[in-house]
Chain A
Amino acid sequence: MSTDPKSMPSADQFIELLGISNFDLSGGDARGFIGLVWSASNEIWKIPQESWYTNHDLNHSFRILQSVIDLDPLFELSPYERMVICAASCIHDIGMQFNFWAPKRSKLFPPKKLGSDELRERHSELGHSLIKAQLKDEKTLKFPQQFVTDLTSYKNALNYASYIGFSHSGTYGKSLLNSMLEYEATFRAGSHDGFIFRPRLLAALLRICDELDNDSRRIGQPDRISTRQINNISAIHWLSCLFIKNVDIEISPSADRAYVSHTIRVPFESDRNLGNNIQEIVRKIRILELESEIETSKQFLEACGERSHLKEIDVRNLNPDHAFFIPPKFDDLQGTIKIALELWDAPSKEKSLHVDFQQTMPHIRPKVFPEDLGYPLSRTQLSSVLRQWFTANVITGHIELISGLHTDTYVNCRFLAANPELLRAVSAHITDNYIDKDINCIMAVGTSAIPFAVNIAIRLGCKVTFTFSRTKLEEGEESESDESILDAIKKDYSLNELLPSFNNGDNLLILDDIISGGRVAKESVNLLVELKLRPGTIHHFSLYRLGSIDFQIDKRITSYDHFVDIPEVLYALKSSCPLCEKGFPLKMEREMF
């Protein structure tokens, strides 16, 4: 786990989340108790050991409690119950850190460090043993920090928390549930210190909320998923969590039922098969697990005669979200998922032996995505993302553009404009760039710029319009043609498409996807002159500046700006094209799109 201990939620945050800051126990207070539990747990998680599992640290505990709070309208937990489940959540996975806190000589614990599979299987038992030892005041037990130094007032609460917490998983967990079923006097629903207390319900709730924390936040370093350090089972778990963007809980108006819905991240440019496979892996591994936990909890409470305490929790359909998201270092994501699904269904003994699984995940050039970097993106980060997008989407060859120029590099920014995440990020930056420039109208030049222009115009509260540039150059393009720009363009566009809608005097932002020599920008302004339109100040912004041909600055344009500079792109006139000289076959731009 790449969890940074410095980023763990604090004790105060736990207390505030649960609303128990002013709750007093007889002989103590909730703040004191949670403070001690948190402190010890935080120490345990200081250096996460088992990095090939999904995240199990206090961030995970915190998220579990967030789900508890989201479900609280169904259960209306008392302050005492909240305090106990908080402690349970903090400690429930401390067994995963056994190799960190394992005492060197103790009859209570295995003498040596454990392998990952055994650790996973026994972590509940190990964690419970640690807490039991503390409750028995085994001061000889060397532990990173003496756990709960002044335990007296809280032993009862901690004992309950340990049963509730460690019953969440595995065979040992089920044995604790049986104990809670059997010891009726201790665990039946009742009251404590005047507050309602339903320990069995809390155990059920913790199981369910543990399973609810199954989204991409469980994966600290997704780019490690393809490394050999991550075993197959873990990789499958990682994959299934990776695609879950968020889990939402909604309570019915009558507060008798909860609805859980998962939003899954489907890579934007994936086809239907991949989208289906992603849904399948999420459904098989996460959704079915969640439904199984809910069912187990129901059966447990039914057996206890407390079934009515658990309200219905319905798991709804998956909601796909086509975000700009590609899991790092996957070359054949579809193949990987298919094998993961086969492995999941395979008999257990085969799960660890399927060596091909790792081989479906070779390393490819690393990609950096907005979600991995965190919103909002800085300008540098966005430029980096746009450069990566360009590299990933460029088509190289020998191409004649609609303008007549020849190039070795072609990219169609319509596909960039069709990406909602990038569209939003780019538009936000351009908006910030011009927010104080008193822009009255955004004029998109070309089709690809229109979606960006609309987004920016919404934010700036200004007009939006579009026009086009001259589509065909004559030979010897440096000299001005006798034909007016308007007449040239009207061969390909109707006047209504050409005529931009703004008022004379409006400050204009011209938006284009690509600028190379600045000629299109210049001609856009010339077109306005021919149309007898007189804007105020004119700014020009393009997403990319391509090529290294001499830039024609038009003094009528107050400022030029762009995100990414890619000078190595070749542009040449047909008459002097080096690719023509070498005889490379030519493709037309219309065909490229």
Chain B
Amino acid sequence: MHVVDPLFHKIQELLLKGRPYPVNLARQSFGTSSDIDQLIDRCLDTSELPGPERHYYIDLTPFERVGGLGRLIESIIVNPNRCGAILTMSRPILDEISSEYEHCPLPVLFFQKDGELEEIIGFSDVYGACRSHVELDFRYDTNRLNLSEFRRILARANLTKLLFDADCIDTPRLSDELEPTTEISGRLYRVMPNGMLVSCYLKLKDLGRDTNHLMRIAYEIMLNLFDYFRRDSDPLPNFDLIVAPNNTSLLIASMVRAIIEKPVLPIDRLGPIPSLQLHSERLKEFLFERRVVVIEEVVATGSEVDRTIMFLNHMGASLEKVVAAYNLEIGKPMLIDSHKMVSLCRPKRMLDYVYRSQIDALS
């Protein structure tokens, strides 16, 4: 499934201009003639779309009003080989489409305020097959996907693709001079500082080589923090600040901060649990009774999340959520309720990721 995210591009544009509160501003201000032109270009740019799929989605759910919808629809239906389907949660947008078209020439998926898929309108002879693909994607006749579930599927796909696009997967090579490597049963492993072996390493720090990549991952995190813009709740006020437990998380969290303008506090190098007692009163003042969201770039064993939770507990902060971009599913944190932790991408199987001890190697 492929999605064109006009909100993402609008936020990018605003960040480049140094405008504050870009996500709020983007949601309010999207819809200028230039915005629609750029959106049309992206929709028609078939190079962006995966090969065999005929359809893609245009996610307008963050917006309450969008001008130029008629022009958008008329422009994208010129390409009969690619069908765009519009996602919206806004009744005014739906009404505008309905008022312009008795039979909308492309599928429009309307979501209720809580993100549940209410209906799909729009049908045409040209896009008859497209409509059926859309219905299939959303399991329309059986167990319908809601917006959140759909976007989570997309997040998994996007973040998996990002690992390759950003060349973040570091596979061990015997010729590596700087990193220790060992071989077991014909497979190479990187030796980690704690002595454990890993079959590959996610070098998410390399996302910084292109701030667009950094933004992509931050965008998915932001969508999750905003609960995919469902209208029956306003999640943003539900936390006060973002905490990053290591420096690579901080790199990503800083980009999230730039988008949503919530403060970010790094609390790296927590170390073993006893050292938590040494952390200062200053930090305690800062965190006491604050509602905190933790952003992790990768969760493997879950121990860093546990240390972070213990630390926040010690500081008197209230943990609202942990959002992990990637979860390698080696273990899981013991100190968090499962509903408070979100993992956007679980690439363990795709990477054939192995985390093991050196015991066999030593023998």
Contacts and interface: CB of A to CB of B under 8 A. Distances in A.
Chain B associates with chain A = yes
B303 to A, nearest CB: 15
B205 interface: yes
B20 A424 contact: yes
A536 interface: no
Contacts of B237: 319-320
Contacts of A499: 178, 205
Given A459-B16, A466-B247, A322 B193 contact: no
A593 B281 CA distance: 8
B72 interface: no
Interface in B71-116: 91-92
Contacts of B203: 496, 501
A494 interface: yes
B355 to A, nearest CB: 15
Contacts of A431: 18
A113 interface: no
A463 B193 CA distance: 27
Contact of A495 (B18, B65, B179): B179
Contacts of B275: 590
B250 to A, nearest CB: 5
B349 interface: no
A316 to B, nearest CB: 10
Interface string B248-285: 10110011011001111110100000010011101101
B147 interface: no
B240 interface: yes
Interface stretch (B133-141, B181-189, B209-217, B320-328): B209-217
A590 B267 CA distance: 12
Contacts of B214: 454, 464
B249 to A, nearest CB: 10
Interface in B290-346: 290
B254 A451 contact: yes
B258 A454 contact: yes
A455 B209 contact: no
B280 A271 contact: no
A447 B254 contact: no
B211 to A, nearest CB: 5
Contacts of A420: 257, 261-263
Given A414-B265, A454-B251, A455-B254, A269 B286 contact: yes
A402 B251 CA distance: 23
Given A319-B237, A418-B241, A418-B263, A463 B208 contact: yes
A409 to B, nearest CB: 14
Interface residues of B, number: 52
B227 interface: no
A227 B23 CA distance: 40
A461 B209 contact: no
A508 to B, nearest CB: 13
A412 B240 CA distance: 20
A13 B251 CA distance: 46
Contacts of B353: none
B205 A496 contact: yes
A458 B18 CA distance: 8
Contacts of A497: 205, 246-248
Contact of B250 (A447, A457, A463): A447
A501 B258 contact: no
B15 interface: yes
Given A271-B288, A414-B266, A496-B203, A593 B240 contact: no
A412 B286 CA distance: 12
A269 B283 CA distance: 11
A194 interface: no
Contacts of B278: 588, 590-591
A549 B319 CA distance: 43
Contacts of B65: 253
Interface string A580-593: 00000000101111
Contacts of A67: none
B92 A458 contact: no
B289 interface: yes
A501 B214 CA distance: 13
B206 interface: yes
Contacts of A453: 254
Nearest to A273: B289
A382 to B, nearest CB: 15
A454 B261 contact: no
Contacts of B193: 494
Contacts of B286: 269, 415, 418
A272 B240 CA distance: 10
Q: Which residue among B265, B275, B282 has the maximum number of chain A CB atoms within 10 Å of its CB? A: B282
A463 B210 contact: yes
B282 A395 contact: yes
A253 B250 CA distance: 40
A454 B280 CA distance: 27
B8 interface: no
Contacts of B255: 454, 458
Contacts of A465: 205, 208-209
A464 B251 CA distance: 9
Interface of A: 253, 268-269, 271-272, 319-320, 322, 395, 412, 414-415, 417-420, 423-424, 427-428, 431, 447-448, 450-451, 453-455, 457-459, 461-466, 494-497, 499, 501-502, 531, 588, 590-593
Interface of B: 15-16, 18, 20, 64-65, 91-92, 178-179, 192-193, 201, 203, 205-206, 208-211, 214-215, 237, 240-241, 246-248, 250-251, 254-255, 257-258, 261-266, 268, 275, 278-280, 282-283, 285-286, 288-290
7 contacts: A268-B263, A319-B237, A395-B282, A455-B254, A461-B211, A497-B246, A590-B275
